[in-house]
């Protein structure tokens, strides 16, 4: 199989194996290359990548901690389905935290930060037309910049960890999402930070982050078998 060979060549045999196989499997799951419900087996994966079971096993443990797989002892290991309550409540946490972050920034009022953010906004407008993955990168960078400027770098790392489940949804929505509108919303947040209006800035961020689940019903409709505990009512409440 060509696929196997290509992946194997990515392997650096002189580096530690576990981090590599971890990164590979995590990416395959988040990008739905290994769709929800897929069965994984330690010896099978080990054989595919020509390594021993040990690094694979350690990887399974880490993925299980993140909720990306579930290990049923003596039975099997499965890629978890996308759990709707987890997705919605991850978003809820993110909104609460980022709203407070921009409120802090509005109170602080750092002109250098505003300049940096405006620079990023211009960049976002450019790549929005071109490449979706590039825009996603820029989007992440924007939010990370806000967190770090507020001195909440550790908090941001924590948010990144609970984002895995939301990322899986993001990679399911195939059609073009309204990148220009997202940039516009980013811009409003920056405006309010510059004005020093903490509560309005927070509201702008909240409105922006509501979008993360905007097309969830449609996505879930197209990939019903990827979801677990799906309930339209939960989305309406949120």
Partner DNA sequence: ACTTGTTGACTTGTATGGAAGAATGTAAGA
Partner DNA sequence: TCTTACATTCTTCCATACAAGTCAACAAGT
Residue span 77-96 as binding mask against DNA, x where in contact by CB under 7 A, dash where not: x-------------------
Q: Pick from a copy of itself, DNA, none: which does 65 bind, CB < 5 to 8 A by kind?
A: a copy of itself
Convert 43-82 into a string of H (helix), E (strand) and C (coil).
HHHHHHHCCCHHHHHHHHHHHHHCCCEEEECCCEEEECCE
* Contacts by residues 155-158 (CB-CB < 8 Å, ≥ 24 positions apart): 155/97, 155/101
**What is the residue whose two structure tokens read 């211009």?**
122
Q: Pick from a copy of itself, DNA, none: which does 134 bind, CB < 5 to 8 A by kind?
A: none
Interface residues with a copy of itself (CB under 8 A) are 16, 58, 61-62, 65, 73, 83, 85-86, 89-90, 92-93, 95-97, 99-100, 151-155, 158, 162, 237
The first and second tokens of residue 205, run together, are 């961020």
* Minimum separation from the CB atom of position 164 to DNA (A): 20
For residue 66, state whether it binds DNA (rule: CB under 7 A).
no
Q: Name the one range near DNA by CB under 7 A: 41-49, 133-141, 156-164, 209-217.
A: 41-49
Pairing, β 76-79 against β 69-72: antiparallel
Q: How many residues bind DNA (CB under 7 A)?
A: 24
Query: DSSP E strands: which ranges in the chain?
Result: 39-40, 69-72, 76-79, 82-83, 227-228
Count of CB atoms situated within 10 Å of the CB of 91: 22
Count of CB atoms situated within 10 Å of the CB of 194: 18
For residue 62, state whether it binds DNA (rule: CB under 7 A).
no
Judged by beta carbon, residue 85 or residue 217, the one nearer a copy of itself is: 85
Residue span 3-22 as binding mask against DNA, x where in contact by CB under 7 A, dash where not: -----------x-xxx----
Q: 24 Cβ partners below 8 Å, 6+ apart?
A: 7, 10, 49
* Contact footprint for DNA (CB under 7 A): 14, 16-18, 40-44, 51-55, 57-58, 60, 71-77
């Amino acid at each position: 199989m060509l696929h196997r060979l290509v992946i194997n060549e990515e392997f650096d045999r002189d580096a530690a194996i576990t981090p590599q196989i971890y990164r590979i499997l995590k990416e395959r799951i988040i990008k739905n290359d290994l769709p929800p419900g897929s069965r994984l087996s330690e010896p099978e994966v080990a054989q595919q990548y020509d390594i021993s079971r040990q690094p694979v096993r350690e990887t399974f443990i880490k993925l299980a901690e993140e909720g990306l797989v579930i290990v049923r002892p003596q039975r099997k290991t499965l890629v978890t389905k996308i759990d709707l309550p987890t997705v919605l409540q991850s978003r809820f946490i993110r909104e609460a935290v980022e709203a407070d972050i921009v409120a802090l920034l509005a109170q602080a009022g750092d002109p250098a930060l505003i300049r940096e953010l405006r620079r990023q906004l211009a960049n976002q407008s450019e790549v929005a037309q071109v490449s979706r993955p590039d825009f996603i990168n820029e989007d992440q960078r924007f939010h990370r910049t806000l967190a770090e400027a507020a001195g909440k770098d550790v908090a941001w790392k924590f948010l990144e960890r609970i984002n895995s489940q939301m990322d899986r949804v993001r990679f399911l929505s195939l059609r073009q999402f309204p990148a220009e509108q997202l940039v516009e919303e980013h811009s409003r947040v920056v405006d309010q930070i510059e004005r020093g209006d903490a509560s309005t800035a927070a509201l702008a961020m909240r409105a922006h982050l509501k979008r993360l689940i905007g097309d969830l019903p449609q996505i879930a409709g197209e990939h019903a078998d990827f979801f677990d505990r799906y309930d339209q009512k939960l989305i309406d409440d949120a």
